[in-house]
Amino acid sequence: MSGKDPKDFNLPQADFLKPEQIDNVGRALISLMREVAVLSDRVLVLEELLERGENVTHDAVDSFVPDEAFTHRSQAAMQQVVDGVLTALRGGEA
């Protein structure tokens, strides 16, 4: 096996955008994070319904009422996503 890091593609060494495009990148990033938050939350709801042995329907997902434990897990999952994005923005490895 070579010494090449398989994650190298995550941190390309090329300039893709001009400095004046940073606001566009910020807006795109916020939009994507909102979508990730919604998708992550829905996946957690699906997992919860499956664990409870309940029918997984569109209505069941939309009408799901989280308990305190679920809310804690959901917030922790979202914090992990936010931390990863912030780490990447600061130049660290996400």
How many other C-beta atoms can be found within 10 angstroms of the C-beta atom of residue 6?
A: 8
User: Considering the entire predicted model, what is its pTM?
Assistant: 0.68
Q: Which of 67, 69, 77 is nearest to 43 (CA)?
A: 77
> Rounded to the nearest 10 degrees, what angle do helices 22-52 and 68-89 cross at?
150
**What pLDDT score was predicted for residue 12?**
63
Give residue limits of the domains in the chain.
Answer: 25-89
Give residue 19's pLDDT: 83
Q: What is the chain's pLDDT, residue by residue, as a tens digit (94 residues)? A: 556 776 666 666 767 778 888 889 888 988 998 899 899 999 999 999 999 999 999 999 999 999 999 999 999 998 998 888 888 888 887 5
